[in-house]
Amino acid sequence: MNKTQVTVGLGSCGIAAGASKTYDRIKALKQAGNLDFSLKKTSCIGMCYCEPLVEITDDRGTYLYGGVVEEKVEEIINSHVVGGNPVNEYIVHSDLFKTSENEFTDGQVKIVLRNCGHMDPESTEEYMARNGYAALRKIADEKIEPDSVIQMVLDSGIRGRGGGGFPTGMKWRFAAGNKSDEKYIICNADEGDPGAFMDRSVLEGDPHSVLEGMIIGAYAIGASEGVIYCRAEYPLAIKRLNIAIEQARKAGFLGKDIMGISGFNFDLYIKEGAGAFVCGEETALIASVEGHRGMPRTRPPFPAVSGLWKKPTSINNVETFANIPWIVFNGPEAYAKYGTEKSRGTKVFALAGKIKRSGLVEVPMGITIRDIIFKLGGGIKNNKQFKAVQMGGPSGGCIPASLAGTTVDYDSVNATGAIMGSGGMVVMDETTCMIDVARFFLDFTQKESCGKCTFCRIGTKRMLEILNRITEGNGREGDIELLEELAYQIKETSLCGLGQTAPNPVLTTIRYFRDEYEAHIYDKKCPAKVCKNLLTYEVDPEKCTGCTVCARHCPSNAIDGGRKQIHFIRQDDCIKCGECFSRCKFDAIKVY
């Protein structure tokens, strides 16, 4: 019997890259040729830059193929599965030999992502075969008391992975200490920054780990009901969560007297959110679950005292809950051996931007930003110069290349002016305008402000107007100082984390790239050549061939010159659209 197994990555990222067609083509070949191999589905494998991904496991080992579009399927199946000859040029990773992509995986320690890409997320049996629900069984078999579970979480050193980094065990102890017959536990799966890609990938690829983490948390604090607050834009995650919840109920992991623990009754449901960024803040999230508009409230009381329906409530995000079963099963010491003294364990990052290898990586705390970008991420696209990395989502900050040696831990990242957030890491190169970046992120947070706090509602709008003026060439003396004044007022007077962190992109770009602000305001130049109103286009007479392409495509007819004559751009008529620059095949258009 042939033991060959073919697995296709069918997370949202893979599906977007065409993996569904790849899967259907493999299935058709298998049926048409009556081929003897098993065909399986999995979720995101992490190497998103190589999608669609197909893994083939035979009696020799495992081979991961990248870029397997529909047209490559027949060649790979016929050569590898039928003929026994792997197609090496398409292989991006194997446990048998090194590839150029090995650095992406070699530096990772997978705890949260331990099952993603290695199992069918719609199968309880496959989850259990990989020690799924073993942590819950351990608690039941060894009769571990709720307070002892909380102590294990405290001893592990895990801090909330949603942004603030508050110790998870301490949060659970606060909720457990409140005597109430009705308590709730909530999973925040609605965070709206690039790190939300990580949350979605875990929910799509390993939903049972999140459920198990919530069940353990409910046991620890005494909750009888749970809510997974997930944005409706994640249909695949919601589908697989619903399947997992139903499977968990049938298997006895949800319901009454769970695992034979008398009196431990717990169930949960999914609340679909509308995708408001402010609902990443826990009190705004609670308001939304209760059917109100998602707006933060004054604290205290904190949710551990008065949360959902004014009952004690504990809230953690997807990544935090996915860690819990591993910690309980393997012991807190095993988890605490990773990371630094104040930031234990691992952290998942969604690498994006001007980087060669984009995707999900899980690394031990304490690794440097430089190692993540240049070892795992492969460095900057097109070998451009690394300029900065934006960490922490839209409310995060920009860390310059000069601080690439910063270690990834809560204190070190916060010291730069950025935040850990839920794991977004957007890499920028020399062609990035930092004022434009600050404007882009502030535009997002300004639109997502719930409007409750005056400085957040109006202050971010005024800041955005100033940034727009600067990038349009209308910056004025004192704009930098006014931006700083507004930023600190917003941080100090906002109720929730959105307002308190919204100015971070502006403050960090002023802190590290003040010269760019000054160039825009005083010299009316954009050093990165991004802000169109600040650019000047000229014809280089030594390179111009008089082909007339630029003149024929100029929408404002601002270019003079006949065929085989040197052309000239009339600056008063130029609308700075850049069409001439993009059309010229002779590099004859200069931009400065």
Domain boundaries, the chain: 5-100, 124-336, 346-429, 434-523, 536-591
pLDDT at position 196? 63
Tell which residue, 546, 452, 449, 441, has the closest CA to residue 498: 449
Fold entry, domain 434-523: de novo design (two linked rop proteins) (1.20.1440)
Tell which residue, 159, 182, 189, 190, has the closest CA to residue 172: 159
Q: Say which CATH class 124-336 falls into.
A: alpha beta
Radius of gyration of the chain (CA): 27
What's the predicted TM-score (pTM) here?
0.92
218-256: b (≥16 Cβ within 10 Å) or e:
bbbbbbbbbbbbbbebbebbbebbebbbebbeeeebbee
Residues with Cβ within 8 Å of 435's Cβ and at least 6 positions away in sequence, in order, are 467, 470, 471, 509, 513, 516, 517, 520, 526, 531
Cα(505)–Cα(267) distance, rounded to whole angstroms? 40
H-run or E-run covering 65: strand 62-65
- What is the pLDDT tens value at each position of the chain, 592 positions in all? 468 999 999 999 999 999 999 999 999 999 999 999 999 999 999 899 999 999 999 999 999 999 999 999 999 999 999 999 999 999 999 988 988 888 898 889 999 999 999 999 999 999 999 999 999 999 999 999 999 999 999 999 999 987 778 999 999 999 999 988 899 999 999 765 544 677 889 999 999 999 999 999 999 999 999 999 998 889 999 999 999 999 999 999 999 999 999 999 999 999 998 878 888 889 999 999 999 999 999 989 999 999 999 999 999 999 999 999 999 999 999 999 999 999 999 999 999 999 999 999 999 999 999 999 999 999 999 999 999 999 988 889 999 999 999 999 999 999 999 998 878 899 999 999 999 999 999 999 999 999 999 999 999 999 999 999 999 999 999 999 999 999 999 999 998 888 999 999 999 999 999 999 999 999 999 999 999 999 999 999 999 999 999 999 999 999 999 999 999 999 999 999 999 999 999 999 999 8
Residues with Cβ within 8 Å of 452's Cβ and at least 6 positions away in sequence, in order, are 295, 296, 495
Q: What is the DSSP string of 341-368?
A: SSSBSEEEEEEEESBSS-EEEEEETT-B
Tell which residue, 291, 112, 329, 97, has the closest CA to residue 207: 112
Tell which residue, 121, 151, 149, has the closest CA to residue 136: 149
Fold entry, domain 536-591: Alpha-Beta Plaits (3.30.70)
pLDDT at position 192? 54
Q: For the domain bounded by 346-429, which CATH number is listed? A: 3.10.20.600
pLDDT at position 194? 45
pLDDT at position 497? 84
For domain 5-100, the CATH superfamily is Glutaredoxin (3.40.30.10)
